[in-house]
Chains A and B, each alone.
Chain A
Amino acid sequence: MTRIEETFARLKEQNRKAFVAFVMAGDPDRAASLDLIKGLPAAGVDVIEMGMPFTDPMADGPAIQLAGQRALEAGQTMKDTLDMVRAFRETDARTPIVLMGYYNPVYSRGVDTFLAEAREAGVDGLIIVDLPPEEDEELCLPAQAAGLNFIRLATPTTDARRLPKVLTNTSGFVYYVSITGITGSAEANAASVGPEVSRIKAATDLPVCVGFGIKTPEGAASIAGIADGAVIGSAIVERIGRGEPVDQILTFVASLAEAVHNA
């Protein structure tokens, strides 16, 4: 079992929902970003999603675009991102880390090299936005062979005909995108997302987490009520963009975690 699978199994036993937090690696700089990431487990984060910054984040809204720009301007490279995972693993052997981003920086490094480095550094899974099932041979299948989970996005446009294809090579958990749109846009509505989550759960035994458009502890609680977990990113990185100190951000993260865990 990967750390992701262990984590969801443990949460299920405890009858608790998962809180998945997204932060951009290297935002606003390497030191502050590492401090923040090291503080996430104690703030109640069950799964850490670390963004790999990219110049052209086509699926992201302004908050995460700017986070990536800040990281790149501070000089963040793929090597730095993997080094941060290594540094985190020195302090935490249990919390899963999922790297999230776009394919080109991975492809540029070389898929085999990247997978070997990621696994050695302590990465547990990947979410690559621009790799649909049609391109599984690129990275999804090699990643699974290397022992990493490949977490796929399912969306409102993933209809019944297409869902089995999306679920086939997915592992770890399914990430349901609550809206048609980019990260950090319209507020996700639990009443309309609920039936969609049920539709996906009927087709898979994997846990289903919901993300895109969750901004507040209240929103997180209502989404967690209808899924196995909630993913929050933009609302966290916006605070980094505003220059809030790490401890203040961790306090906000803890409020989100509490809302999810009590749902």
Chain B
Amino acid sequence: MNAPQTNSFRNGPDERGRFGIYGGRFVSETLMPLILDLEAEYGRAKEDPAFWAEMDDLWKHYVGRPSPLYFAERLTEHLGGAKIYLKRDELNHTGAHKINNVLGQILLARRMGKSRIIAETGAGQHGVATATVCARFGLKCVVFMGATDVERQKPNVFRMKLLGAEVVPVNSGRATLKDAMNEALRDWVTNVHDTFYCIGTVAGPHPYPQLVRDFQSIIGKEAREQILEREGRLPDTLVACIGGGSNAMGLFHPFLDDTDVAIIGVEAGGHGVDERMEHAASLTGGRPGVLHGNRTYLLQDEDGQILEGHSISAGLDYPGIGPEHSWLHDMGRVEYVSVTDEEALAAFKLSCVTEGIIPALEPAHALAHVARIAPKLPPEHLIVMNMCGRGDKDIFTVADALGVGL
């Protein structure tokens, strides 16, 4: 290990699990010993070559890594400016970046002797990835999903069931992703001895934001090597979409100290980031608070009650964001912007017809911002965008939004 650089953006979190004032361990006493155990086990695993050897093997042969870095030639031509590369994490087994992290957590669960895995899911991608890896290792899997999302995402619910998982519809609160996370925490606090909570994004109590980031950083590490090989230099701009922010953190982290690389995170602007609060843009439309184990920017009312996010993408409508993003926002290292439902839909269609790639609605948000900035940039400007998921799951939502009956 190299000595940490003092002026690095990559040193966090500190020993209290903080990125600046964000992060931390805001959990009930019952869970505190469990997250301390997890922190200790992750500390050991991280230094264990056998752990990473197993990860690398699974990433390569089970997930299909490395994912390609693809020059989007027709998209570049169409937009008429910067040269656009797509990091093709939608080609992973299960169709999104989620599995990168799930594999790491399940290997940790196995090291800790846990036999029952729980997870929360919104759109169902993290649920499917968790169910998949649990099937691969013969572990019991229970996925909590808001009843509203169970209704909206039937194909993924069926996929999880095919993979042997139990899907528990959550009716408490507003019956969406944050309520699913509440219910997963309630289950964990009840089943402390045999259960491992596999969190799907770079949020939750320390050490989750750190370990999920570390597992997802494979995206940025590969992209860095691939662009150096293709272009002989680093990119000028990185773009990724953000719900909780795991695909973005995975792409961004290996580049944070390359200060010539501009980094842009794209939040879901829903119907527009204004006082109606019909969006899921925690950084551009929220303020710091404490939820689900960490301090971070949250959508909340003036009395500290949490608001529901809205986005056409069920994977982005979470009222919070990973704490490291909150810190990078305050530090000004990463620029955070938002894109509306309508703009994301236009980008979705653009990707289909120019590149023959049906993107998930989440990265369609990132692409919408690429489409905004690329035309104004010179041809030698290199953009790397994370195509973090494929759109099979979204065709019903898109058909509905376009007024097409299937």
Contact = CB atoms under 8 A, between A and B. Distances in A.
9 contacts: A56-B173, A56-B178, A78-B303, A104-B304, A104-B306, A154-B29, A157-B33, A158-B29, A158-B33
B24 A58 contact: no
Interface stretch (B50-58, B207-215, B286-294, B370-378): B286-294
Contacts of B29: 132, 152-155, 157-158, 166, 177
A142 interface: no
A261 B293 CA distance: 38
Contacts of B298: 104
Nearest to B186: A182
A78 B302 CA distance: 10
Contacts of A65: 172-173
B2 interface: no
Interface of A: 54-59, 61-62, 65, 69, 72, 77-78, 102-109, 129-135, 152-159, 162, 166, 177, 180-182, 185
Contacts of A78: 303-304
A166 B33 CA distance: 11
Nearest to A132: B32
A107 B178 contact: no
A181 B28 CA distance: 11
A103 B25 CA distance: 12
Contact of A153 (B28, B185, B190, B300): B28
A154 B291 CA distance: 21
B34 interface: yes
Interface of B: 16, 24-34, 172-173, 178-179, 182, 185-186, 189-192, 289-293, 295, 298, 300, 302-306
Contact of B27 (A130, A177, A181, A185): A130
B290 A180 contact: no
Contact of A56 (B24, B295, B306): B306
Nearest to A80: B303
A107 B289 contact: yes
Q: Which of A58, A131, A155, A182 is the most central at the interface, judged by chain B CB atoms within 10 Å of its CB?
A: A58
B128 to A, nearest CB: 24
Contact of B189 (A59, A62, A77, A166): A59
B152 to A, nearest CB: 21
Nearest to B303: A77
Given A78-B303, A132-B25, A132-B27, A58 B32 contact: no
Nearest to B306: A55
Q: Which of B25, B27, B30, B33 is the most central at the interface, judged by chain A CB atoms within 10 Å of its CB?
A: B30
Contact of B303 (A108, A131, A159, A162): A108
B172 A62 contact: yes
Q: Which of A62, A103, A133, A159 is the most central at the interface, judged by chain B CB atoms within 10 Å of its CB?
A: A103
B305 A72 contact: yes
A180 B192 CA distance: 7
A108 B304 CA distance: 5
Contacts of A77: 303
A38 B304 CA distance: 27
A103 B34 contact: no
A140 B115 CA distance: 36
A157 B34 contact: yes
Contacts of B289: 104, 107-108
A30 B47 CA distance: 56
A103 B190 contact: no
A61 B190 CA distance: 11
A185 B305 contact: no
Contacts of A156: 30
Contact of B292 (A54, A58, A162): A58
Contacts of B25: 132, 134-135
A180 B190 contact: yes
Nearest to B171: A62
A157 B190 CA distance: 11
A132 B28 contact: yes
B195 to A, nearest CB: 10
A172 to B, nearest CB: 16
A176 to B, nearest CB: 10
A262 B186 CA distance: 34
Given A107-B289, A180-B189, A157 B30 contact: yes
B189 A181 contact: yes
Given A158-B33, A180-B189, A130 B28 contact: yes
Nearest to A72: B305
Given A56-B178, A131-B26, A185 B300 contact: no
Contacts of B32: 132-134, 157, 162
